[in-house]
Structure 1
C-alpha cells in the first residue's frame, strides 16, 4: 500500500494533533501537512520536516476546500493507492492503517467516527439531501459521512477539485454526492475513530463565528433548495440557544 495522508491544521501545533502522531509512524504513509494557521506563534514547518512530512503553508486561512485543492495539486504527479483525509482533532488507532492495507482501492472508504460521548457522526444517511444520523450501519440506503479518516482511491483525485465557495462545512457531503453521481461506490471501513467534534462551541463569540461559517456554506450547498437552507439554519439556532441560553443566537 502507498497512501498519502492530508492533514489540514488551523492555529494548532502539530504535536497537539493525534492524527499527526499516528500518520508519521506508518512507513507506507506519506503525510502532507497543509497549514491554514493565522496565529503567527504557530510554527509547524520545522516539526513537519523533522517527522518526514511534506508541508504546505496557505499563508493564512484559505478555507478547507482551498487547502484540499492545494494538497491535490501537490499530489497530482505522485503515484499511490489512497488519499486519506485527516482532521487535526481525531484519534486514529493503529487498527485503521492495518485495515486500510487490506482494502482494494476500488471504492471510497468511510470509517466509523464517534464523538467522545460515543455518538456516531459518520457514516450517516442522506435523506432528502439532508444528512442525518444513521439508525443502523447495516442498512444505510444513501450513505454520506465526514472527511475525518475518509480514504479515497487516488485515481479519483486526479481530476476532482473542491468547490472553494464552500469554506468549511458540507465539503465532505458535496464530495460524496459528486462521487456517487459519477458512479463511484462508498463503503464502510470496519474500524472506529474518535473525534473531538468542533461544532460544540462553549462560548457565544466562538459559537457565533462558527455559525456564520455554517450559514454561508449551507447557502452554497442548498442554493437550489432555499427552504432546506432555512430549515437547517433555524434548527441550528435552536440547538445553539439550548446549549448557550443566549438569545443573541437568534440575531445572527
Structure 2
C-alpha cells in the first residue's frame, strides 16, 4: 500500500500551541514521518511561541491582519505544489485528531484521480455535523452519507478534510470571495460541478464548532457569516436562495425567543429583508 506525501496546514487564531487540541499527536507524527510537512499560519494579532518550530518539516508564519482561511490555504497549496506533495490536509485548532485518523490518511487507498477529497466523520455534542448530504438545502433535518466513496452531492467542514493537490490547482485554489465563512460550501460545490468523488473515512473525530455558540460569538463574526450566506446563495447555488430565505425567517423567530443577545436576531432579520429585496 502506497503512502502519500502530505502537506498539513493548521490555522491558529488567538490560540497558543500548547492549547491546540492535537499538538502532541501532530509533533510525534511529523517526527516519525519527516517526509510530510506542517505549515502553521497564525492569524493572531500577536506572535505566539510555538516550541516545535525549528524542525525541518515545520514552518510558522504570522498574519496579524487576520485575512481568513482562504489565503492561508492558498499559501499551503503553493507549498504543497512546490514540494510535490500529493495531498493537502486542512486542520483547525478546535479539532481533536486521533492516531487512527492519521493512519487512515497516510494509507492512500484511493489512488484514482476521481476521488479528490477524503473526510472523517465529525461530531459535536455527540451529533454528527459533517459530512452531510447536500442534494437539497441543509437544514436542521440533515442526513449523512455512508462510509466509503460516493459521487453524491456532499458538504463537509474544512477541518480534517484531505484534498488532492492536483484538483485544487485545477479549480484555481481556494476562493478569496469566501475568505472564511462558506469557504467549505464553495469548495465542496466544486467537487460536485467537476463530477468528482469523495471518500468518507471510517473515522470519527470531535470538533468544537464555534458557529453553534451564539453566547460567545461576536457580532462581527456573525455579520461575516450572514454576508457569506447571502453571497453564496445569490452567486453560487442560486437555486437554493428561496429555501435560504425561508430558513432566515425561521432562524429570526427562533433567535428572538431563545437568544439573549438581541442584536443577533435583528441582524438575521435585516439579512432576510435584504435578501428579499434582491429577489425582486
- TM-score under structure 1 normalisation? 0.86
Distance 1:16 1:215, change over 3 A: same
Shift of 1:239: 4.6
1:111 is matched with which residue? Answer: 120
Distance 2:17 2:254 in 1: 32
Q: Please tell me the root mean square deviation across aligned C-alpha atoms, in Å.
A: 2.5
Give secondary structure in 2 for the equivalent of 1:193: strand
- Give unmatched runs, 5+ long, in structure 1: none
| Residues 114, 194 of structure 1: 8 Å contact kept | yes
Measured against aligned partners, the alpha-carbon deviations of 1:180-221 in whole angstroms (never above 9, x if no partner) come to: 2113211101101100111132537x3533321111111221
Native 8 Å contact 1:202 1:244 kept in 2: yes
1:33 pairs, out of 40, 57, 76, with 40
- In structure 2, stretches of 5+ residues that fail to align are 268-280
In the TM superposition, what whole-angstrom CA distance separates every residue of 1:93-147 from its partner, at most 9, and x where no partner exists? Answer: 10001122332343211100001x2110011010335466325636984222111
Structure 1 residue aligned with 2:184, among 158, 166, 172? 172
- The residue that corresponds to 1:227 in the other structure is 242
5 Å-filtered alignment, 1:47-196, equals 47-50=51-54, 52-102=57-107, 103-106=109-112, 107=115, 108-115=117-124, 117-130=125-138, 133-134=142-143, 137=146, 141-159=152-170, 160-196=172-208
1:135 and 1:193, CA in 2 relative to 1: closer, same or farther beyond 3 A? closer
- Is the CA contact (8 Å cut-off) linking 1:110 and 1:150 kept in structure 2? yes
Alignment: residue pair count: 247
- Offset of 1:171 from its aligned partner? 0.9
- Is contact 1:105-1:153 (8 Å) kept? no
Q: For 1:133, what is the secondary structure of its paired residue?
A: coil
Conserved in 2, the CA contact under 8 Å of 1:110 and 1:151?
A: yes
Q: 1:231 to 1:21 in 2, by over 3 A?
A: farther
Distance 1:243 1:21 in 2: 39
User: Does the residue aligned with 2:69 lie in a helix, a strand or coil?
Assistant: helix
Contact 2:80–2:86 (CA under 8 A) maintained in structure 1: no
> Is the contact between residue 215 and residue 233 of structure 1 (CA under 8 Å) also seen in structure 2?
no
- Superimposed CA distance per residue, residues 36-79 of structure 1 (whole angstroms, 9 cap, x where no aligned partner): 112x2x414x4341455212222321011122112222322111
